[in-house]
Amino acid sequence: MVRVHTDELQIGKGAAGARGDDTKMLKSAILDWISPKGAAIQPPLHRNSKIDRGFNHELTGSLLCPAGLEWSDTETRENLRSGELSVCGDQWPIFLFAHHTYDTEDPWCGLLRSRLLVCAYKHIFTSPSSVDKEPKATRSGNACLHGMNSVTIASIAYVATQVRSIRSKFLLGVLANRHYYGLRNFYHSLLNLFEDPDESKEVEELLICQVFPTSSAAKRSVSANSALLKIRLKRLAAKQGADSSMIYS
């Protein structure tokens, strides 16, 4: 079951089941999305394993490289691979940005709008078949079935964290713990940005992203005599009263 509440999306033990299912689905699909057009990934990557991913692979390394660093720089690349250059959770990878391009003068430009993220989002929240085509109202994806019909800040952070995890090499022992906490910090750094009132304009523009189909279920009217309807009518009456007072004052 897909869970969309913030608490359930946190990178912790509480969401392990749903998160594990999503990881399994994405692990193989993500290779199709990052493969060069008309060519195979070289050297090949295992579809059902993360062991050969991360900075040690040229393709996944280039996409995991923190924005602001140059993967093409030999020293940077080697330092990332050796761990001499550690990556903090708030050093976001370049794959978060549209066309994998980071604008130092306008960091919001293209942020969380990459094709890779959109594909992963659709794969999890609408359906795998919706990745390569427009989602149709006749098909109810996991999100719609669970009452989710619009993009949310928690779901964006969740998908970004899933992709970052799948692209990373799985490590054992102390390094595995470091990797786990790095993912937590990554997830919360995105949430902190989304919840910052000073960033509300950019966040609103991001949430407008049309991922879900326009379904009748998503647009159905509120039931008569329901508590929800009464709350909305009361709020509307109060707003209209306030507007009238301003006009005639």
Query: Tens digit of pLDDT for each residue in 31-69?
Result: 999 998 888 899 888 776 666 778 989 999 999 999 999
pTM above 0.75, yes or no: no
106: β partners? none
The tens digit of pLDDT for each residue in 123-153 reads 988 877 778 765 454 444 555 545 566 788 9
Cβ 163 vs Cβ 120: under 8 Å: yes
For residue 106, what pLDDT is reported?
96
Q: Is the pLDDT of residue 176 over 50?
A: no
Query: Tokens representing 233?
Result: 């009518």
Mean pLDDT of 11-32: 68
The tens digit of pLDDT for each residue in 58-97 reads 999 999 999 999 999 999 999 999 989 989 999 999 999 9
